Structure 1
Amino acid sequence: MELLADMVANRVADRLANQRRLLTRPELAEVINVSIPKLDTMIRDDEIPVIRVGRKVLFDPHAVIQHLATQA
């Protein structure tokens, strides 16, 4: 199972290699293939790294994927 998680993380990281921008909640939910309510739960439970700019919540996709890969 861990090998599969690593393979998925590497594939997603490769797809995002040329994108160095921050993502919104809907964009990140699509990238990591979870629903927005599930993403909100992950944010609330501090399961993923978050960047807060005022009231806006943004994500560095590389940091999120790396964090999820180490947690799997």
Structure 2
Amino acid sequence: MTLSDLSPSDMEVLANMVADRVADRMSNRRKLLNRNELSEVIGVSVPKLDTMLRDGELPVIRVGRKVLFDPHAVIAHLANQSRGA
């Protein structure tokens, strides 16, 4: 069977399946955040975030001089810290 053998409704079903797979893969990608974006996500001010960063309280990813954060890793780290406190 080839694509030309499919009916228009079969082609639409196939197209929807492909679109759903692409959407699932795109939603699973993690976006790294800068300081301003992370401060909004975790609900702290940028100066407080800088203090936490200076005190080594957050997992960071450094790319040259740029400091980025994986929000999932930061939230998990903060959750683990609060359980231990």
For structure 2, the residue ranges without an aligned partner over 5 or more in a row are: 1-26
Alignment correspondent of 2:16? none
1:19 Cα shift?
Answer: 5.6
Alignment correspondent of 2:81? 71
Superposed CA RMSD: 1.3
Alignment equivalent of 2:41, drawn from 24, 27, 31: 31
1:24 Cα shift?
Answer: 0.5
Alignment correspondent of 1:46? 56
Q: Which has the higher helix share?
A: 2
Which residue identity lines up with residue 45 of structure 2 in the other structure?
Answer: S
Alignment correspondent of 2:71? 61
2:11 counterpart of 1:22: no
> Where in structure 1 do 4 or more consecutive aligned residues deviate above 6 Å?
none
Which residue identity lines up with residue 67 of structure 1 in the other structure?
Answer: H
Q: TM-score, normalised by structure 1?
A: 0.73
* Alpha-carbon displacement from aligned partner over 1:34-69 (angstroms, at most 9, x marks no partner): 000000000000101010101100000000000000
